[in-house]
Amino acid sequence: MSKPLEEALNTVSGIKEIRSYSSEGNSVVVAEFELSVDPVVAVQNVRDKVAGVQGHSAARSARRRCRRWTPTTSRCCRWR
């Protein structure tokens, strides 16, 4: 499930690093952006790319959540 999301996110400009953590039935993909990137724009770009992955069979059945990380939250984006 992580692979199609990683590939889609890999095309978003300003990403510093992409990490993913997977276990049976669960996948978390984290995109870290360069500090110069506007976080509001970054989240929208990620949402747009994730929406484009909906046709992939594994991603189609997943519940997707995308959140901007702030110091008071624990993660930025989570797909389950």
Angle at 20 between CA 74 and CA 71, to 5 degrees: 20
Check residue 12 and give its pLDDT. 94
Q: Check pLDDT > 60 for residue 22.
A: yes
Q: For the domain that residue 50 is a member of, what is the CATH number?
A: 3.30.70
What is the domain extent for residue 63?
2-79
What is the total residue count of the chain? 80
Say how many domains are in the chain.
1
Model pLDDT, residue 13: 93
pLDDT in tens, 25-76: 788 888 889 989 998 899 899 989 888 886 665 544 556 667 676 666 555 5
- So what's the pLDDT on residue 51? 84
